């Protein structure tokens, strides 16, 4: 992250403030968000200083909110992680990480359409980011924009061929459109790329069930179970298969 130590931090804590400021700055550079929050949180409820120091103060508070976000996500403090990262975006919008984390938080709360704006902002700043582009594709898919989501995934697949993570999402779109044979072909490609991926075997079982290839579907479920996939979900899928295959 780009960092200039805020003079406000030094001025508020004299005579020991210089060492605190250095420690705070080093914590940001190393990603030690627990320490950033520990040092910076004391200032969250203080009034802003004189006008000529507002910019430096806002950066300090912005980084502290971003630290609070990380701490909240880890469950170490009782704050709303979404509120924390929203406050960080207001104060340090030049830091590309805050845009990505805001998009992720909105997406995890099923606010997929809202998530697209911060994710697009992040991608403007880091256009080659796999995670940013994948999260955007996911948000597009979950918001019902399957064609746009597929376009994003296909572009990623060109740059990162044979990624099971990408291929599973492409197969999901095919299944949603009822193109189960196309989904199966994509998942076989994912399976060949990573034979021990339990998620791929689970998706194969679901797709094979839709194609009424019951025994193959059950075999994929067994493989998913042996690789540690959620046994409750496997039991549910097995029950569906058994019901459907029974005349």
| pLDDT tens sequence across 103-120 | 999 999 999 999 999 999
Cβ contact 209:240 at 8 Å: yes
Residue 173 has pLDDT above 90, yes or no: yes
Is the torsion defined by CA of 182, 185, 188, 193 positive or negative? negative
Running DSSP on this structure, what letter comes out for residue 143?
Answer: T
pLDDT of 35: 86
Q: Quick one: tokens of 203? A: 């998706």
List, for residues 188-228, the tens digit of each pLDDT value.
999 999 999 999 999 999 999 999 999 999 999 999 999 99
Q: Quick one: tokens of 185? A: 């072909």
Range of lowest pLDDT (40-49, 154-163, 167-176, 200-209): 40-49
Q: pLDDT-derived band of residue 16, with 50, 70 and 90 as boundaries?
A: very low
pLDDT of 15: 43
- CA distance linking residue 188 with residue 171, whole number of Å: 10
Please name which of 119, 180, 182 lies closest in space to residue 154, comparing C-alpha atoms: 182
Residue 10 has pLDDT above 60, yes or no: no
Mean pLDDT of 144-172: 96
pTM here is 0.83
pLDDT of 100: 98
What's the mean per-residue pLDDT of the chain? 89
pLDDT of 1: 45
Q: pLDDT-derived band of residue 17, with 50, 70 and 90 as boundaries?
A: very low
List, for residues 73-96, the tens digit of each pLDDT value.
999 999 999 999 999 999 999 999
pLDDT of 128: 93
Mean pLDDT of 124-134: 96
**According to CATH, where is 1.25.40.10 located in the chain?**
161-247
Superfamily of domain 161-247: Tetratricopeptide repeat domain (1.25.40.10)
Residue 236 has pLDDT above 90, yes or no: yes
Helix (H) or strand (E) holding 116: helix 112-125
Cβ contact 44:36 at 8 Å: no
Length of the chain: 247
Residue 151 has pLDDT above 60, yes or no: yes
Running DSSP on this structure, what letter comes out for residue 75?
Answer: T
pLDDT of 6: 52
- CA distance linking residue 207 with residue 167, whole number of Å: 13
- CA distance linking residue 206 with residue 220, whole number of Å: 9
pLDDT of 39: 81
- CA distance linking residue 113 with residue 111, whole number of Å: 6
Angle, in degrees to the nearest 10, between helices 214-226 and 198-210: 160
- CA distance linking residue 138 with residue 136, whole number of Å: 5
| Burial environment of residue 159 by CB neighbours within 10 A (0 to 12, 13 to 18, 19 or more) | exposed
């Amino acid at each position: 992250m780009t960092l200039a130590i805020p003079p406000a931090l030094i001025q508020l804590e004299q005579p020991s403030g210089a060492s605190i400021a250095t420690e705070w700055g080093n914590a940001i550079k190393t990603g030690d968000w627990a320490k950033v929050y520990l040092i910076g949180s004391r200032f969250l409820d203080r009034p802003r200083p004189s006008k000529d120091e507002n910019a430096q103060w806002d950066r300090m508070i912005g980084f502290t909110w971003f630290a609070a976000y990380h701490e909240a996500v880890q469950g170490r403090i009782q704050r709303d992680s979404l509120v924390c990262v929203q406050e960080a975006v207001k104060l340090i919008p030049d830091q590309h990480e805050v845009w990505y984390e805001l998009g992720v938080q909105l997406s995890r709360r099923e606010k997929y359409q809202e998530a697209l704006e911060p994710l697009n902002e992040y991608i403007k700043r880091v256009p080659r980011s796999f995670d940013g582009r994948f999260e955007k594709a996911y948000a597009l898919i979950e918001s019902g924009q399957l064609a746009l989501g597929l376009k994003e995934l296909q572009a990623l697949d060109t740059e990162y061929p044979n990624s099971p993570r990408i291929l599973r999402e492409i197969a999901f779109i095919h299944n949603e459109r009822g193109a189960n044979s196309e989904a199966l072909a994509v998942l076989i490609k994912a399976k060949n790329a990573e034979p021990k991926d339990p998620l791929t075997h689970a998706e194969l079982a679901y797709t094979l069930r839709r194609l009424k290839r019951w025994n193959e579907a059950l075999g994929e479920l067994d493989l998913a179970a042996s690789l540690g996939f959620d046994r409750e979900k496997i039991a549910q899928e097995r029950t569906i298969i058994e019901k459907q295959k029974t005349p």
